[in-house]
Amino acid sequence: MIGKIIAAIFIPAILVVFFTRVTYSKIIGLLLTVGLIVASVYKGYTHTELLYIIDAASLTAGYYFANKMSPKKHKKQPNHNA
C-alpha cells in the first residue's frame, strides 16, 4: 500500500509534465494523464478513496508545474527606429 501511495504522489504529476512537453498542450497532457488514471481504476489497480484524492492532488500539482514551464508569449515591441 505504501508503494501505491508513493506512486500516486509522483507519477501523475510527472506524466502531466511529460505529456505537456510532448504535445505542447497543457490540456491534452492533463487529459491523457486522467485517461491513464481512469484506465487503472477500471482495471482495479486503485482501491481506496485516499488514492483517488492523492491522484487528484498530484494531477493539480503537475498541471501547475506544466503551466510554469510553458513558454510565455510576449507582446511584440513596436519598432521606434523607423
Domain count, the chain: 1
* 3-class SS of residue 51: helix
| Any domain includes 15 | yes
Q: What is the block-wise mean pLDDT of the chain (82 residues), using blocks of 10 residues?
A: 87 91 89 90 84 90 86 66 62
* Structure confidence at residue 57 (pLDDT): 93
Range of the domain at 9: 1-66
Query: In this structure, what C-alpha cell is assigned to residue 12?
Result: 501523475
* Structure confidence at residue 61 (pLDDT): 93
> CA 57 to CA 63: how far, in whole Å?
10
* Structure confidence at residue 78 (pLDDT): 67
| Any domain includes 73 | no
* Structure confidence at residue 71 (pLDDT): 66
